[in-house]
Every structure is written in structure tokens, then in C-alpha cells.
A and B are shown apart, each in its own frame.
Chain A
Amino acid sequence: MTVAADLPIPPGAEPAKKSFLRAKTTFLSWALTTDHKRIGILFFFATTLMLALGGLFAMLIRIEHLTPGPTIMTAETYDRMFTLHGVIMVWLFMIPSIPTTFGNFILPLQIGATEVAFPKLNLASFYVYLLGASIVILSLFLGGIDTGWTFYVPYSAHTPARVLPTCLGIFIVGWSSIMTGVNFIATVHTMRVKGLRWMKIPLFTWAIYGTSIIQILATPVLAMVLIIVGIDHAFDWGMFDPARGGDPVLFQHLFWFYSHPAVYIMILPAMGVVSDVIPTFARKNPFSYRAIVYSTLGIAFVGFLAWGHHMFVAGISTFDAGAFGVLSMMVSIFSAIKVFTWVGTLKNGSISLKAPLLYVFSFFFLFTFGGMTGVALATMALDVHWTDTYFVVAHFHFIMVGGTFTGFLAALHYWLPKVTGRMYSERWALIAWALVTAGFAVTFTPQFFLGNGGMPRRYYDDPPQFQWLHVTSTVGSWALGAGMVMVLVYITYSFFRGAPAGPNPWGSRSFEWRTASPPPERNFQGPVDFAIDAYDYTTPQEPE
């Protein structure tokens, strides 16, 4: 394919004599690297491995639903599968993936920094993550865990499965989350290139900044409560045991105080990707930069006040429930504003339909539908019928897979040339995109219908009237899985055989493209000019 840079290559962006990839090649130069770009790549491999594992569990769960009664596993195995699918996807993939991989790689480039503020802490965060993830995986071999990713007491305090190792693993991964969050906030505050004002920072960096705030404030509460649950199970303290004066609903409050903001930890980075991909491929400034920044911060703060909408039928007072309902509506308004702004950005643009933008359009459609069903759920009476059914499962998979995961894929295709200096195959990307999007829709749309019909979640066996919907959903999951494998294959292939990309194959004005691709060890080969705005597409520039 032909690629051409539209901006004249700035003085710092000639192909680096030695990119960060080739500067050092020993094993230790990777294992002990403090280069944020290399750490980003390490995280990419680790989190992608977790995605594969979580995805495998998902496929097995879907196959189990192919026939009524036992299909390929027992109920005990099934309970462990959906628990680990949730735990791995939430804590080991969705939460860390975009911030630690693309955040690590791109954020310093977007603010003209040579490094993050604390490179060693960054590396430590990676190993802490590995340790925590290993313990979670290990718990699989210690008897597994069957509480669901929500660890509701008193079940989680009495189950015959192992609870403590999983809780400990998540606790440790939480440390990694906090370390990375602290690092990013300090970086954005203190490492910006001279003259780069706050309201000129690219939107992806803003999104990671907002995410970091949530991570730092919410994670410790979860850490605390999970440790108590672990202790309860292992040493029988009975802290939430009603027979001994404990209160199981109190646990739910503390759990959702973290786990609702965690939803925004997962979706905000993907929103950041969307906010940056659209201007690049529409060659147009964002319809309202301010609206996106303010709604990011709005989500980061108001998101902390909506946790109770997970508990409308848990026996909380109708007044509390009403307050949480109204606050949930407030949060959703920020997401709606973002969608309007993104669509508005397309207007008057010069739109080029490349794979990253295709994934962004999937995001538009799936996230909007998922978000609207979220509003429907916050319409409290309907939540009484839908909560704990497949409707909720479908709703959050539309947000998490349709939103976060397509955002992750958009980022992967968008920044691949930045990271490796090579292009993927646009044709294969188109096929894979179609498979992933269609597979997704076929997998999860029937689950809305299952929820309408009243099919509860976490059921090993299905009432017979729901069977045809389950079969459809399972078949869809195969297309989704095939699409993902295809992405993995052609991305790997591109690393060895892809066409050279040049510094700026998309003609983007964003700051990270103003240096060589892949960048040199210290990111920029000389002083970089940040005078032209990251979203300024008003001046046409012919290639040289």
C-alpha cells in the first residue's frame, strides 16, 4: 500500500538510526528495561495472553449452553469457568489493557516527554501485575473459585472452592493499577514539554489521566474488602456473616463502590482512543475538545456516586435507590455528550475508511446501544425485571466488548505502525473487522432477548424455551473468536513482513506522530515543535 506523510518531516522525525526496538537486543534489555515503550510492549503481551485465556473460558461457556443439560462440563466446572472468565477479563485484561499498553507507549509521546515520571516504578508495576496474575491463574489449579467475579457474601465465605488466593491475586494486581495510575498522573502534571498547556493535551492522554484518578481512588476500597472476604473464607472471621452480626449488603456497597467506577476505568481509555482516531481519519479537529475533556472528568467524579444501581433489588431503601437512579442518569449524560461530539467531528471532514476507523464505528453503534440499554436499566422499575438476567450480561458486554474491546482493536491498528514501523494488511483487517463485529452482534443480541424472557444469569442449565437463543449466541461466539484469531495472525505477520510505514502513515497531526516510527530510545531526536495544534488540519500540505 502507499503511505505518505502529509506534514513535512520535522527535524526530529527522520528515521531513527536506532529505534527503541533495535537499540539493545539482549533478553535482559527487555526484562529489566525502564523504557516506557518497551514496558508498554511487555504489558501488551501479558494482557493479550490473559485475553486469550479469558476468551477461551468464554468459548467453553458458550459451548456448554449449546444443548440443555450437561454438554461438555459439570456444573462445578461451569461455575469455575464463568468466575475465572469474569475475574480474568475484568482485572487482568479490561482494566489494565489500554492504559498499560497504549497508555504507556503513547502518553509520554503525546506530551513530548522522554519518559514517564518514574520509569523504575513503571517496571515494578509490570512485575507486580505478573505476580498478581500468576496467583489468580494458580488459584485455578488450587481448586478454582466459583463465586462469580462479584464475590458476594455469605456464599463466598462458605463455598468449598478456594477464595483467598484469587482475592490475594486481585489485591496484588490492584497495587499495579495504583502504581501505574500514580505514575501517569505525575507524568502528565510534571513531564509535559515546555509550553504545552493543559487544554492542548491530546484527548487520549486526557482519558488516561481521568482513568488514573478513578484507579487511585477506587482500587484501595476493593483491596480492603476483598482481603476481608479472603480472611472470612480462610479463617472464618464471619465479618459479613449475618449469624454473627455481619451484614452481607454492606459488602455489596463496598464492592460496588469500586466496581462501578471500574466500569469507567475500562471504558474511558477506549473513549480516549476513539477521540483520537476520529480526528486523524476524518482529518478534522474535534467538534468540541472542551466537551470531551469535561465529560471525561465528569465521568471520573460522578462515576463514584452511582454504585447503588447494582443493588435495586438487594433490599436498600426506596429513597437510596431513587438517589442512585438519578445519579446514574447524570453519569450517562456525559457518555451521550461524547457520542454527539464524535459524530459531529465527522461533519465537514475528509473521511478515510481504514481499519481503526471501522472499529471506531463499531464502537459507536455497539456502545450507543449498550449505553442506551444502560439508561433503560437505570429506569428503576425495569431494572427489577432485568437485573441478574442475561439482559444485564448483554448490556455490559456491549459496553465492555463492543466498547472497550473494539477501542482496544482500534488502538492496535492505529498505533501499530507507530510501535513497529510496519503496516498491517488493510484487506485482512477489513475481513477480520466484519467477522468480529458480526460475530459480536450475533453473540450478544440474543442475550438481550434471553433477559427479556427472564433467563437468569449464571445458570448452568437452561430452561428449554430459551434454547434457540442460546444456540444462536454460541454460533456467534465462534465468528467472534475466529475474527480475533485472524487479527492476531495478521498483526504478527505484519511485524515481520509488513510494508514499512514511514513516520506518519495516517497523516495525523497528533504529537506522537511527530517523531520517527518506531521512535528512538529517548522518543525525540532533538527539540520538537509543539506549536501546531494536535488537531489542526486547516493547512493542506503536499507530500515532498
Chain B
Amino acid sequence: MTFALPSWAIRALDLPPEAGPTARDMDALHATIITITFAGTAAVALMTLYYVIRYRRKREFEATPAVVASGKREWIQGALLLGMFLAFWVWGYAQYIHIETPPDHSMVVYVSAKQWMWKFSYDDGQTSNDVLYVPEHRKVRLVMTSRDVIHSFFAPSFRVKQDVIPGRWVNAWLDAAEPGVYPIYCAEFCGVGHSTMLGEIHVLTEAEWAKWRRGADPEEMIARGREAATKNGCFACHTLDGQRHIGPSWSRLYGSQVKLTDGTTVLADEAYLTQSMMDPLAQIVDGYQPVMPSYRGHLQPEDVGAIVELIRSLKDGGGKEPTIALPKLVVEKTGQTTEKQP
């Protein structure tokens, strides 16, 4: 229906240029909905106009018939309309779930937001500020947190928006198909620099991507994770070589199905691992005691990402570290390290 419209109007009505298949799906929904919106409003306006002309007052004191609407017709009309709205909802909800659920085996980038910049940490140990580099035709999962107030990661061309909340790790994912440069905005008011909290997503071609990766040392992130885990006393309870201790071992943990005390199982992915650090009592692994303190507010976001990378690097076992068996006393001591007074 937009064939007769001038190009500026089409640009205004359309969502921004699509960066991938998810965006294209959403645009089909968008086109349908705005067409119906315009049609519905136009119908109401035309109907009103017709009645105003047709039933304009001709004599000053005319009587009008008392019309009583048929209840049956009202119900049918209401039901039809509700049916249409629910159809919109079904369509939109299916897409929503698609947008909110990062696919398996996607590449992971850790995002930490602060007033007023975006910091991206990659699995090869590289970091970048305000520019997110991703390869074309790859699904990229963003594991995000904020260091101060609530921000919102908004990449219009990917139709992705996700509030980034301090103290929580949240997921979003990008469906990057076309190489190019796309904007990132912060969409949740975060203070005086809100409108300057901008970034860019650079979708690189395979060749560019390979070149960008070459500079990095994949071991760097894992080394940092090992350092952070040591500093925070993680090895007091967790081993790297598969030995059972106060907490589950990190060896062969990533990607495995973990059985919980309530009988359910959960996939040990980034979300599970980060949640276990922030809110350890939420999901207790079967056979272990609920003794782990929360590390919410105590770990730098980059450290959390590094520790997860360390665990990921052990997904096929291969921990070279000796088991650090420590007496229970130390567990109590690490419990005390969670103390924090403002």
C-alpha cells in the first residue's frame, strides 16, 4: 500500500535498515499492524464524517428515534475485535520469545555498561569501548550487566533492546547478516550524559573478522579468570580437576546438564553460571549444601566474564591445577569476605 507514498514518508514509516533476519521478520509484523492502524482510524474518521453530513441538524427541534443496540451484535463485534487483537498477540509473542531467547552455540560477548559508555569483552581476551565488533552471519549472544544505574542496550537495526540492570546478568542476542556499521543507543534514562551514551556495532566480513581476531591472545581472558577466582577465594570450594569438594568442580561443568536439589535439571550455560555467582541459593546443585555467599556487587563485570571463560575453557576437562583442599574454617572466612558496609 505504500507504493504511492514519497520516499521520505516511506522512510519515516519504516523501521531502520534491517541488519538481519530477525529484523526482517519484525518488519513484516510492523507493516501489517500499521496498515491496520491507519485503516481502523480512517474507518472511524470516515464513518463519523458520513454521519455528520447525513444526519446534520436540519430543523432546530427535531426528535430522534430511541435506538437500542442489539446485545447480540455488540457481543459479536467485541468478540471479532478481540479475536483480531489476540491474533496480533500470538504473532507478536512468538517473535518476542524468539528475540528474548539466545540460540545455542552463539558467540558470546560480555557487555558492561556504565555512565556513559559501553564496554565489550570478547572470549579471546580483547576488549573494546563503545564499538562492538561482530562477524557477519553469526549469532552473537550478549551477556550484560551494569556497574551503576539501569541502562538499556538498544540496537535499532537489529530490533534489539534490553535493559541492563546492575546486580543482574541479562541476555540479548544479535542476528547479524549484513556487514556494516549500525548505531547503539542507551534507551533508559541514566543521567546527564544519557544522550551521549552512544556506540556502534561493526559487522565485519569474514576476512576483516579474522584480521581483527589475530591481534588477540585467547589465553589472556582465561588467565584473568584464574587470577580473579584466586583473589575471590573461589578455589576454596571449587576445583578445576573434577574432584568433588564443598562446591561442584568446574571441570566439564560448562555445557553439562546439572541436577538440582528440587529435582529439575538445568543447562550450565553463561546465564546459569553468572546467576550462580550473583544469587547462589536460587539453584542448588543436588548433593551440595547451600553455603555459597552471593558475589553480587563484589566482582567486577569483566572478572565475572573472565571466570565464566575460565569455566568454559575447562568444558572438556584438562584442569592442570592441583586440587586445593582447604579446611572448612576457610569457608567460614570466605563467607566473611562478603561483608560490605556502605
Q: Do chains A and B touch in the complex (CB under 8 A)?
A: yes
Give the interface of A toward B (CB within 8 A): 4, 6, 75-76, 79, 146-148, 152-155, 158-159, 236, 238, 242-245, 247-249, 282-285, 287-288, 290-291, 312-315, 318, 321-322, 325-326, 329-330, 332-333, 336-337, 339-341, 343-344, 346-353, 361, 364-365, 368-369, 372-373, 375-376, 378-385, 387-389, 446, 449, 452-454, 456-463, 469, 507, 536-543
User: B291 contacts the other chain (Cβ, under 8 Å)?
Assistant: no
5 contacts between A and B (CB under 8 A): A152-B150, A249-B165, A285-B66, A385-B156, A463-B198
Q: Which of A245, A249, A315, A365 contacts B45 (CB 8 A)?
A: A365
Q: Does B195 contact A461, Cβ atoms closer than 8 Å?
A: yes
Q: Which of B45, B100, B156, B166 contacts A248 (CB 8 A)?
A: B166
Q: Does B16 contact A453, Cβ atoms closer than 8 Å?
A: yes
Q: Does A469 contact B57, Cβ atoms closer than 8 Å?
A: no
The minimal Cβ–Cβ distance linking B76 to chain A, given in whole angstroms, is 12
Q: Does A348 contact B85, Cβ atoms closer than 8 Å?
A: no
Q: Total contacts A to B, CB within 8 angstroms?
A: 298
Compute how far the CA of A365 lies from the CA of B37 in the bound complex, rounded to whole angstroms.
Answer: 12
User: B196 contacts the other chain (Cβ, under 8 Å)?
Assistant: yes
Q: Does B165 contact A540, Cβ atoms closer than 8 Å?
A: no
Q: Which residues of chain A have C-beta atoms less than 8 A from B60's C-beta?
A: 4, 6
Given A325-B93, A385-B161, residue A339 in contact with residue B44 (CB < 8 A): yes
Residues 144-183 of chain B, each 1 if its beta carbon lies under 8 Å from chain A, else 0: 0000111010101101111101111010000000000001
Q: Which residues of chain A have C-beta atoms less than 8 A from B56's C-beta?
A: 350-353
Q: Does B61 contact A313, Cβ atoms closer than 8 Å?
A: no
* Nearest 4 pairs of A and B residues by beta carbon: A242-B167, A454-B156, A379-B92, A381-B95
Q: Does B152 contact A313, Cβ atoms closer than 8 Å?
A: yes
User: B81 contacts the other chain (Cβ, under 8 Å)?
Assistant: yes
Given A339-B44, A454-B16, residue A540 in contact with residue B63 (CB < 8 A): yes
Most buried by A among B13, B34, B55: B55
Most buried by B among A347, A352, A542: A347
Q: Which residue of B lies closest to A326 (CB)?
A: B89
Q: Which residue of A lies closest to B153 (CB)?
A: A313
Q: Which of B64, B77, B165 contacts A350 (CB 8 A)?
A: B64
Compute how far the CA of A257 lies from the CA of B309 in the bound complex, rounded to whole angstroms.
Answer: 40
Q: Does B89 contact A378, Cβ atoms closer than 8 Å?
A: yes
Given A287-B67, A333-B85, A449-B13, residue A159 in contact with residue B45 (CB < 8 A): no
Given A379-B33, A382-B29, residue A346 in contact with residue B62 (CB < 8 A): no
Q: Which of A291, A329, A369 contacts B86 (CB 8 A)?
A: A329
Given A155-B190, A380-B89, residue A454 in contact with residue B154 (CB < 8 A): yes
Q: Does A351 contact B168, Cβ atoms closer than 8 Å?
A: no
Q: Does A380 contact B95, Cβ atoms closer than 8 Å?
A: yes
Residues 84-120 of chain B, each 1 if its beta carbon lies under 8 Å from chain A, else 0: 0110110111111111110000000000000000000
Q: Which residues of chain B have C-beta atoms less than 8 A from A538's C-beta?
A: 63-66
Q: Does B186 contact A456, Cβ atoms closer than 8 Å?
A: yes
Q: Which residues of chain A have C-beta atoms less than 8 A from B63's C-beta?
A: 283, 537-540
Give 7 new A-B contacts, CB below 8 A, not counting A282-B64, A376-B33.
A147-B189, A333-B85, A337-B74, A344-B69, A380-B95, A507-B61, A541-B61
Q: Does B33 contact A343, Cβ atoms closer than 8 Å?
A: no
Compute how far the CA of A285 lies from the CA of B64 in the bound complex, rounded to whole angstroms.
Answer: 8
Compute how far the CA of A333 lies from the CA of B75 in the bound complex, rounded to whole angstroms.
Answer: 11
Interface stretch, picked from B46-54, B122-130, B237-245, B262-270, is B46-54
Compute how far the CA of A316 lies from the CA of B89 in the bound complex, rounded to whole angstroms.
Answer: 18
User: B133 contacts the other chain (Cβ, under 8 Å)?
Assistant: no
Q: Which residues of chain B have C-beta atoms less than 8 A from A242's C-beta?
A: 165-168, 296-297
Q: Which residues of chain A have C-beta atoms less than 8 A from B227's C-beta?
A: none
Compute how far the CA of A375 lies from the CA of B88 in the bound complex, rounded to whole angstroms.
Answer: 8
The minimal Cβ–Cβ distance linking A325 to chain B, given in whole angstroms, is 6
Most buried by A among B63, B168, B185: B63
The minimal Cβ–Cβ distance linking A496 to chain B, given in whole angstroms, is 29
Q: Does A381 contact B29, Cβ atoms closer than 8 Å?
A: yes
Q: Does B154 contact A388, Cβ atoms closer than 8 Å?
A: yes
Residues 314-335 of chain B, each 1 if its beta carbon lies under 8 Å from chain A, else 0: 0000000000000000000000
Given A313-B161, A337-B74, A388-B154, residue A244 in contact with residue B342 (CB < 8 A): yes
Q: Which residues of chain A have C-beta atoms less than 8 A from B14's C-beta?
A: 452
Q: Which residues of chain B have C-beta atoms less than 8 A from A459's C-beta?
A: 194-195
User: B30 contacts the other chain (Cβ, under 8 Å)?
Assistant: yes
Compute how far the CA of A110 lies from the CA of B284 in the bound complex, rounded to whole angstroms.
Answer: 63
Compute how far the CA of A387 lies from the CA of B88 in the bound complex, rounded to whole angstroms.
Answer: 17
User: B26 contacts the other chain (Cβ, under 8 Å)?
Assistant: yes
The minimal Cβ–Cβ distance linking B167 to chain A, given in whole angstroms, is 3
The minimal Cβ–Cβ distance linking B118 to chain A, given in whole angstroms, is 14
The minimal Cβ–Cβ distance linking A411 to chain B, given in whole angstroms, is 19
Q: Does A343 contact B48, Cβ atoms closer than 8 Å?
A: yes
Q: Which residues of chain B have C-beta atoms less than 8 A from A543's C-beta?
A: 61
Q: Which residues of chain B have C-beta atoms less than 8 A from A385's C-beta?
A: 15, 26, 30, 156, 159, 161
Q: Which of B91, B150, B160, B196 contacts A155 (CB 8 A)?
A: B150
User: B260 contacts the other chain (Cβ, under 8 Å)?
Assistant: no
Q: Does A343 contact B51, Cβ atoms closer than 8 Å?
A: yes
Most buried by A among B48, B82, B98: B48
Q: Does B161 contact A376, Cβ atoms closer than 8 Å?
A: no
The minimal Cβ–Cβ distance linking A484 to chain B, given in whole angstroms, is 23
Q: Does A148 contact B74, Cβ atoms closer than 8 Å?
A: no
The minimal Cβ–Cβ distance linking B50 to chain A, given in whole angstroms, is 9
The minimal Cβ–Cβ distance linking A332 to chain B, given in whole angstroms, is 6
Q: Does A348 contact B55, Cβ atoms closer than 8 Å?
A: yes
Compute how far the CA of A20 lies from the CA of B281 in the bound complex, rounded to whole angstroms.
Answer: 68
User: B231 contacts the other chain (Cβ, under 8 Å)?
Assistant: no
Q: Which of A75, A244, A333, A352 contacts B195 (CB 8 A)?
A: A75
Q: Which residues of chain A have C-beta atoms less than 8 A from B82's C-beta?
A: 329-330, 333
Q: Does A155 contact B161, Cβ atoms closer than 8 Å?
A: no
User: B303 contacts the other chain (Cβ, under 8 Å)?
Assistant: no
Compute how far the CA of A495 lies from the CA of B243 in the bound complex, rounded to whole angstroms.
Answer: 89
User: B191 contacts the other chain (Cβ, under 8 Å)?
Assistant: yes
Q: Does A387 contact B161, Cβ atoms closer than 8 Å?
A: yes
Q: Which residues of chain A have C-beta atoms less than 8 A from B148's C-beta?
A: 154, 158
Within 8 A of A (CB), among B289-325: 296-297
Compute how far the CA of A350 lies from the CA of B194 in the bound complex, rounded to whole angstroms.
Answer: 54
Q: Which residues of chain B have C-beta atoms less than 8 A from A507's C-beta?
A: 61
Most buried by B among A247, A351, A446, A507: A351
Q: Does A313 contact B92, Cβ atoms closer than 8 Å?
A: no
Compute how far the CA of A346 lies from the CA of B64 in the bound complex, rounded to whole angstroms.
Answer: 11
Compute how far the CA of A155 lies from the CA of B60 in the bound complex, rounded to whole angstroms.
Answer: 61
